[in-house]
Amino acid sequence: MTDQFQITFSLDEIKDVARKILSQPLKKVITFHAEMGVGKTTLIKALAEQLGVQDMTSSPTFSLVNEYETADGEIVYHFDLYRLNSEEEAYDMGIDEYFYSGNWCFIEWPEKTPNLIPLDHAAIHIKQLPNGNRILTLK
């Protein structure tokens, strides 16, 4: 994987951005870093759609993880760890089994479980620009 992929976009270009991200050589565990409201969930929805998920995604804020299946049977896990109280709580729910399952894992608020995220993962950082556009960096 190249060290870094960077793109500036507006939210109405999100499907194209998702396509470009998925065209990169990626790890299947991807962490998403951004302030609240910048578009992590929106991007994850677009990525899941590009991967062939038919049933539309919502943020798993209350369940911590949502599971989706793509048209060709791949599993996509979407984690929202914002409401997590401790790493122990995540460990107790078996989060590491998800992370090492070989399936896609899209993780919002990974800083809540820094010791549980696999070392071998990709990271997406999104910053909102003053004009409303976003700048995304994939590492």
Backbone angles phi, psi at 45, to 5 degrees: -60, -45
Q: What is the pLDDT of residue 48?
A: 94
Query: pLDDT tens digits for the chain (139 residues)?
Result: 446 899 999 999 999 999 999 999 999 999 999 999 999 999 999 999 999 998 766 666 567 899 999 988 999 999 999 989 999 999 998 999 999 999 999 999 999 999 999 999 999 999 999 999 999 999 9
CA 58 to chain centre: 12
Look up the domain containing 47 and give its range. 5-138
Q: Give the number of other CB atoms < 10 A from CB of residue 130.
A: 5
CATH number reported for the structural domain that contains residue 132 in this entry: 3.40.50.300
Q: How far is CA 67 from CA 49, 127, 137, in A?
A: 13, 27, 25
Number of structural domains in the chain: 1
- Asked if residues 123 and 30 have their Cβ atoms less than 8 Å apart, the reply is yes
